[in-house]
Amino acid sequence: MIRSMVRCAQVRGRSHYSSVAATAAANKSASGRLDEFRTLETNADRHGSSTLGRFYTIPADARKQIFTYGGLPKSYERQIKTFNECCLMVRRPAVEIIEHLRVTDFSRPINRFVLYGEDGAGKSLTLAHLLHYGYQQQYVLVHVPWLPNWLKRPKETANANSVEGALDLPLDGAAWLVHFKNQNGALLERLGLTVSRDYVWTKRETTPAGAPLMALVEHGISRAKFSCDAIAGLVHELKQHSTAGRARTMVVIDGYNALFHPHTRIQTENKVRLTPDRITLVQPFREITRNDWTNGVCVLAVDRLALTEDRMASTLPLYLLYREGFEHLDPFVPIRVDGYDETEFHSCIQYYLDRKWIQTTEPGFDLELKALSCQNPYQLMQLCASL
């Protein structure tokens, strides 16, 4: 029925995409000509209105450093492997935040940006674009690829070393420190940041004041028992170094609203579900999103899939963050991530044709895909997989 409706619509009105296949073929045959859906500008700081709706390529070395341990959706990772390249579309939400950062006074308390929107609209890939921007601009990246994983399915739990009645997630903490080291190890070595006080772990184990900041990270990795405490110390030190002007920090957290859900899926021995404030691993990431430090930025995404299966009526930040989370972040800058507009949909179809993600076409296929996907990026990707 949808197919017949789409064909009737095509007869009544001429589609913007009716020449998609012909255009893709022409671009391929034109020697040395750049496809119109691509841009050669790989410097994210130069992305603006002229590059909107176009794909740019993230170099393999940058992708390995930023996204080895997370940051790209698994479905997108599979697509990258299939296409043999890592391309992101330049979209308005990311460009809007980049333009804000260009004119930000970093001597003032940090700005908090909150991405929100429908499932599959592209919030995680917008964060990926901003991570690449931060990497290129020499920010220290504090990145949590999907925070709800810690509160839904932790690898291991243990009684907290420093907070009575709370739980540590030692293996998850150590894994995050490996991710942090992979993203920032080279930059921290160049910056020469040190710890400001002694960190006493046991009678024989101490990280003394003046030791390299990476010593704190290495200890948390090698001694997973202390990984959550090491992360708390690391976040405290980064806030101090940023405020002192010795580094600039970008905090990027996906699924941030899970921090303010009434309960987690972690249970005590008495089968009582814990609240997020009793999980020591997540508390430093709550603290670093306060605006009590300078020379940094926080970009957070709220999502209905983040521990909110019983709270799906809206995608708005106030609804997903509850009153506590909203007041914790207030004031913040909300950035809505919508589905593809006309130009973005056109570019995506051309890209899929070029990569042979769409191989079987017939007149009006683009209109039908537009109707079936409602121009939702994830839905479009799934629909095109079988063509």
**Residue range 315-354, pLDDT digits in tens:** 999 999 999 999 999 999 999 999 999 999 999 999 999 9
Q: Indicate if 201 and 323 belong to the same structural domain.
A: yes
Question: Does residue 297 share a domain with residue 177?
Answer: yes
Specify whether the CB–CB gap between 207 and 215 falls below 8 A: yes
On whether residue 79 sits in a domain, the answer given is no
Together in a domain, 268 and 356 = no
How many CA atoms lie within 13 Å of 32's alpha carbon, on the beta-carbon side?
0
Higher model confidence: residue 287 or residue 5? 287
Model confidence pLDDT, tens digit, residues 224-273: 999 999 999 999 999 999 999 999 999 999 999 999 999 899 988 888 88
Whose tokens are 């940041």? That residue is 193
- Residue 25 lies inside a defined structural domain of this protein: no
Question: What is the C-alpha separation between 362 and 286, in angstroms, rounded?
Answer: 51
Residue 37 lies in a domain: no
Q: Are 295 and 245 in contact (CB under 8 A)?
A: yes
Task: Kindly report, residue by residue over 53-75, the tens digit of the pLDDT.
Answer: 999 999 999 999 999 999 999 99
Backbone angles phi, psi at 301, to 5 degrees: -120, 135
**pLDDT tier at 33, thresholds 50, 70, 90:** low
Tokens of 257: 């609203």
Q: Which two tokens stand for residue 304?
A: 């209905």
248 shares a domain with 216: yes
Angle between helices 377-384 and 365-373 (to 10 degrees): 130
pLDDT digits (tens, 9 = 90+) for 352-363: 999 988 887 888
CA angle 192, 195, 199 (to 5 degrees): 150
pLDDT confidence of residue 34: 63
User: Do 194 and 216 share a domain, yes or no?
Assistant: yes
Q: Are residues 273 and 358 in the same domain?
A: no
Alpha-carbon gap, residue 319 to 312, rounded angstroms: 9
Instruction: For residue 55, give the H/E element and its range.
Output: strand 55-57
**How does residue 165 score in pLDDT terms, banded at 50, 70 and 90?**
confident
- Predicted pLDDT of residue 35: 80
* Half-sphere CA count of 218, side-chain side, radius 13 A: 11
Total count of domains within the chain: 2
62 within some domain: no
Give DSSP secondary structure letters for 307-343.
T-TT--S---HHHHHHHHHHHHH-S-EEEE-----HH
Written as one string, the DSSP assignment of 138-192 is TPEEEEES-THHHHHS-S--EE-SSSTT-EE-HHHHHHHHHHHHHHHHHHHHHHT
The first and second tokens of residue 144, run together, are: 């949590």
Domain that holds residue 351: 343-384
Residue 374 and residue 244 share a domain: no
Answer yes or no: do 361 and 301 share one domain: no
Give the span between the Cα atoms of 328 and 97, in whole angstroms.
Answer: 21
